Structure 1
Amino acid sequence: MTHPSSTRTEKKSSPLIIVYAMILGIVAGYVINTQTASPESALHIAGYFSVISDAFLRLIKMIIAPLVFSTLVVGIAHMGDASSVGRIFAKSLAWFLTASLFSLLLGMTLSNLLEPGYYLHLPLPDSNASANLAQGGFSLNEFVKHLIPQSVIESMAKNEILQIVVFSLFFGIAMSAIGEKNKNLLASIDDLSHIMLKITGYVMKFAPLAVFAAITATIAENGIGIMAQFAIFMVDFYLGLILLWCALIFAGYLFLGKRIKQLLINVREAFLISFATASSEAAYPKILDGLDRFGVNRKISSFVMPLGYSFNLDGSMMYCTFATLFIAQAYDIQLDLGTQISMLLILMLTSKGMAGVPRASLVVIAATLNQFNIPEAGLLLILGIDTFLDMGRSATNAVGNSIAAAVIAKSEGELLSVHDAKIRAAAIEQEASAHMHGVKD
């Protein structure tokens, strides 16, 4: 028989293990960077550690498509009718667009007030140099083609979450419309969702090792010294993230009250994983688990979360305006308010569907620089430290999506009371513990 206190101790220790893995990674990376014979040797050794973190991220990507499809279809089918789906979609979109606009405005405001680009005392890359990133101007045609899948198999193969969401919406609504005829298929897809969640549990056991490897590789390759060179830029950016976190938490408090604290506690491990791996996707399974424990109905979280990964990347949105204006300042390119607002609106559109994977926002920035005649070479200024910045914005994305899901669940009456949420959390813990001991036996 499992003792309840031991189970709680195991659960509480998980975030600490992630923190310890990060600290060990910093130490190991520093030793490799400073004690190896040459930078090439350090880069070579870092490559071995990258294999581990890359393998973990590939495992996450392996489960994302079937997990999103199965949980979203089951959630929509259980909503009962298309009007419920439409109402929740409208609420989600309203929240996402508001949060996105605020994030972009915050990045633009801070970049203008703090002007980090003017304090950069480093040689600028040749304005004709290329950062070798895919780019292209925004067009409605490209956006629609990115939104609607021409093949759901291709979308799943490429992990195009927004396209998977579109197909799942049609599939779930159609299942709901045919009524009892969908009974057997719905049960099968529900079984698939449980299987995927079980696989997710196996994959997440490798998270601490992946965190250690990712941090070690990053520090070994770049060294801690690079952070000092860009200290002003990084401090300004993380100041912006802290302000964004405060705004998101305050918005959550307006709807959830004091329960916002418990929500943050529930997703703290997801926050640390996304921070250490610089990937919003890596946190997805843990966020679902944290929302379950908080009392959010799975049909809400399985609907809102995938949408959030395409429409609610708050940290990445703020970074887009902040980094774009930083590069313009570094090259002493003056942009009037009207131009900056145009840039903001374009970023509002081009960033939708941006994957929650490392460095995706750089592609969006490259396209924006190209459109406003700002040297693309400016991206070379921040490529070296982008991983450190991506850590912060990925973690912010995780927090923003968690709060959005909880708020929408509350508005729909699909959030359990504090008492019932504790009962559910205990049941989830007991099931996880029983499975763990069953595997050991």
Structure 2
Amino acid sequence: MAIKAAPGVSPVRPEPGAPAVKKPVWSHLYVQVITAIVLGGLIGHFWPAFGESLKPLGDAFIKLVKMIIAPVIFLTVATGIAHLRDLKDVGRVAGKAFAYFLTFSTLALIVGLVVANVVRPGAGMNVDPATLDPSAVAQYSEAAHDQTITGFLMHIIPDTIVGAFAEGAILQVLFFSILFGISLAVIGDRARPVLSVLESASDAFFKLVHILMKAAPIGAFGAFAFTIGRYGIESIVSLAALVGTFYLTSLIFVLGVLGAVAAANGFSILKLIRYLKEELLLVLGTSSSEAALPSLIEKMERAGARKSVVGLVVPTGYSFNLDGTNIYMTLAALFIAQACGIDLSLTEQLLLLAVAMLSSKGAAGVTGAGFITLAATLAVVPSVPVAGMALILGVDRFMSECRALTNFIGNAVATLVVARWDKALDVEAMHAALNGEPASLAAPMIEADED
């Protein structure tokens, strides 16, 4: 058996006790992103019109990142699976990943439901459903009607291979990547020339990720200036109970539920958050977890998770493991019911939970998925008026940031946990990465090739 180091990573480790070279504080990406977010917020608050005009900066950065998401997923998944000699490994990893997704997606829905019943953020608003304007949320309702489970499953299969990459459809690219990786694994030694080319291309694309990340502060600056300029901090005040409850619930879920899972699997959720601070700040600034997807793949490999596991868990998690979105759905639905004076029975709440579990998969990967998913859920639960979504439309943008952050952390935890379950996690490398040791000490887990 030949042991092969992950591409682009030197197997040589520095001598113990060697002095680390400290970079100036301002050169760290997370410091630059924090500064950009603060400046963007100030401009959006004091010069809202100018803040709104900066939207193209954020949009341009997100487009830059989305430009490389499809090839990064393809290269990571295809090369990871190609290194496997037993194709049962692919099914085993996928099975464990989906078992994790189903369990914690359900837990997130339950947590949102319980907190909404305890805190009751919408109680006392006494809104008459007849006064609500359904046209305000019509576009989301129409989009929700198009997201059936059958339609979603059929959409996973691309019309053409090129079309999947051209449209940037994550699940379609993932579907093709898995099939292509399996083909390479089945061919065996004859596929080595192709695999060598793909690995070299992978190195080039991850170097491109590093280059594009240098523009992250500009993107965060423009996106946050637009958010504050367009919606204003004042809009939160009227619905402070809902926004505050959602952020607190997400915090409880991350530190409590995911923290317990992390501890049970040998790592600290706080250290993981610190390890991903640059990506989390980028997600906060852009309100998009996709902006940090390529970096998450790279950092999970660096933290010791095998490439084949990372390639399967991270992209599928972006569609099927949406903890923040699930918390939002049950919490927001009960908020609307409470605000309209509608008392949902336990049976109706359980129906709401079941529908939300299905609809969250049907709207996966759709722009504005959180709001669209909520519309799809309420359309099936007639007790709560879909028009009630107009009540939270003004603050949804502020809650989308929390949804994205929670989703992102949830997928990072899922990757390490599934890798550990599958004995595909280099624990030493994980602790080195989470403790902030030099990058060469936190090298990706080596892949084993059969001779």
TM-score above 0.5 = yes
What is the CA-CA distance between 1:420 and the residue it aligns to? 8.1
What is the CA-CA distance between 1:279 and the residue it aligns to? 0.6
Give CA-to-partner distance per residue, 1:50-93, whole Å, 9 cap, x none: 00000011111111111111111111111222111111111111
Is the CA contact 1:226–1:385 (under 8 Å) kept in the aligned structure 2? yes
Q: 1:10 to 1:4 in 2, by over 3 A?
A: farther
The aligned residue for residue 171 of structure 1 is 180
CA–CA distance in structure 1, aligned partners of residues 342 and 46 of structure 2: 40
Give CA-to-partner distance per residue, 1:242-272, whole Å, 9 cap, x none: 11112112111111245x4433221121111
The aligned residue for residue 394 of structure 1 is 404
The aligned residue for residue 350 of structure 2 is 341
Q: What percent identity do the matched residue pairs reach? A: 33
CA RMSD of aligned residues (A): 2.6
Candidates 369, 373, 376, aligned match of 1:367:
376
Candidates 401, 410, 422, aligned match of 1:412:
422
Alignment of 1:93-104 (within 5 A): 93-104=98-109
The aligned residue for residue 37 of structure 1 is none
Q: 1:187 to 1:136 in 2, by over 3 A?
A: same
The aligned residue for residue 10 of structure 2 is none
Regions of 4+ moved over 4 Å: 7-12, 121-125, 137-140, 353-358, 427-431
Is the CA contact 1:266–1:293 (under 8 Å) kept in the aligned structure 2? no
Q: Does 1:76 align with 2:44?
A: no
The aligned residue for residue 90 of structure 1 is 95
SS of the aligned residue for 1:270 comes to helix
SS of the aligned residue for 2:343 comes to coil
Candidates 288, 300, 307, aligned match of 1:279:
288
Is the CA contact 1:263–1:294 (under 8 Å) kept in the aligned structure 2? no
Q: 1:429 to 1:198 in 2, by over 3 A?
A: farther
The aligned residue for residue 439 of structure 1 is none
Letter in structure 2 aligned against 1:196: F
Q: Does 1:65 align with 2:70?
A: yes
Q: 1:429 to 1:48 in 2, by over 3 A?
A: farther
The aligned residue for residue 221 of structure 2 is 212
Alignment of 1:137-152 (within 5 A): 139-152=148-161
Candidates 5, 10, 17, aligned match of 2:32:
17
Alignment of 1:194-233 (within 5 A): 194-233=203-242
CA–CA distance in structure 2, aligned partners of residues 331 and 420 of structure 1: 49
Q: 1:198 to 1:356 in 2, by over 3 A?
A: farther
Q: Does 1:46 align with 2:51?
A: yes
Is the CA contact 1:269–1:286 (under 8 Å) kept in the aligned structure 2? no
Question: Once structures 1 and 2 are overlaid, which stretch shifts more, 144-153 or 122-131?
Answer: 122-131
The aligned residue for residue 249 of structure 1 is 259
Q: Does 1:126 align with 2:132?
A: yes
CA–CA distance in structure 2, aligned partners of residues 243 and 420 of structure 1: 24
What is the CA-CA distance between 1:335 and the residue it aligns to? 2.3
The aligned residue for residue 189 of structure 1 is 198
Candidates 297, 301, 312, aligned match of 2:306:
297
What is the CA-CA distance between 1:147 and the residue it aligns to? 3.0
Letter in structure 1 aligned against 2:121: P
Q: 1:355 to 1:210 in 2, by over 3 A?
A: farther
CA–CA distance in structure 2, aligned partners of residues 262 and 31 of structure 1: 36
CA–CA distance in structure 2, aligned partners of residues 430 and 86 of structure 1: 28
Letter in structure 2 aligned against 1:129: S
Give CA-to-partner distance per residue, 1:90-122, whole Å, 9 cap, x none: 111111111100001111111122222224477
The aligned residue for residue 426 of structure 1 is 438
Letter in structure 1 aligned against 2:188: G
CA–CA distance in structure 2, aligned partners of residues 212 and 307 of structure 1: 29
What is the CA-CA distance between 1:417 and the residue it aligns to? 3.6
Alignment of 1:96-115 (within 5 A): 96-115=101-120
CA–CA distance in structure 1, aligned partners of residues 416 and 26 of structure 2: 21
* TM-score normalised to structure 2 length: 0.85
Q: 1:223 to 1:364 in 2, by over 3 A?
A: same
CA–CA distance in structure 2, aligned partners of residues 228 and 195 of structure 1: 47
Unaligned runs of 5+ in 1: 34-41, 432-441
CA–CA distance in structure 2, aligned partners of residues 10 and 289 of structure 1: 23
Is the CA contact 2:148–2:362 (under 8 Å) kept in the aligned structure 1? no
Is the CA contact 1:118–1:332 (under 8 Å) kept in the aligned structure 2? yes
Aligned length: 418
Unaligned runs of 5+ in 2: 1-17, 444-451
The aligned residue for residue 8 of structure 2 is none
